[in-house]
Amino acid sequence: MNLSSLKRVNFKTIKTNFQEGFKNLAEGGFRQIFNRIDQLGIKKGVDSMGIDKFINQCAYLAAGSGLVTGVGGVSTMLIGTPVDVINLITQQFRVTLAISYHYTGKSRISFDNFFKIVASSVKADTQLAISKNIMEEVAEKILMGLGSKAMRRLVPVVGGVIGGTINYLFIKKIGKELMEQHKLRHEH
């Protein structure tokens, strides 16, 4: 990619589109993603692989979309980033459900209870009632975590490696934080 093609990119429009997309995600997208996840499949995966291997599998799935999105530069970023973000959120949700099942033995969880766990995993305030504002805060925190990554994806190949690595590490970090939270809760 050369500098002249970078000059044609309207970053203000991209930022506005991202913000609008995350507002829409907060208003119903999280519930849609949650509803499409096979909770029984997660139970079976954890039972057959173990929790650590299941988290690793989710991290690799997240890395795959980060790699593909980052490889093509600006054109792939504009089209692939929404798909990558949805996949990353899906993998985060799968890890959250898997860890919840691992510690509680419950293979089904309501969206509201689930979202309290997700909110705590991104350091949002869980004392407040589940509302549009909390969902927007979680979406914003996820966006902030992905924002710098999106800019790095402008460089082909290197962007792919960086995007894949960051997605992988993000899911592993979420898994580690949730495991620690559950361990603390079950020790007391």
Ordered by start, the domain boundaries in the chain are: 3-187
Is the confidence at residue 115, as pLDDT, over 50?
yes
Q: What is the mean pLDDT of residues 174-178?
A: 88
Q: What local confidence, expressed as pLDDT, does residue 136 receive? A: 52
Is the confidence at residue 73, as pLDDT, over 80?
no
Is the confidence at residue 156, as pLDDT, over 50?
yes
Which is higher by pLDDT, 126 or 136? 136
Whole-Å CA distances, 25 to 116, 124, 136, 142, 160: 17, 16, 8, 11, 24
Which positions ≥6 away from 4 have C-beta within 8 Å?
Answer: none
pTM of the model: 0.69
% of the chain surpassing 70 pLDDT: 59
Q: What local confidence, expressed as pLDDT, does residue 113 receive? A: 86
Q: In 105-157, which ranges are continuous DSSP H helix?
A: 111-121, 132-152
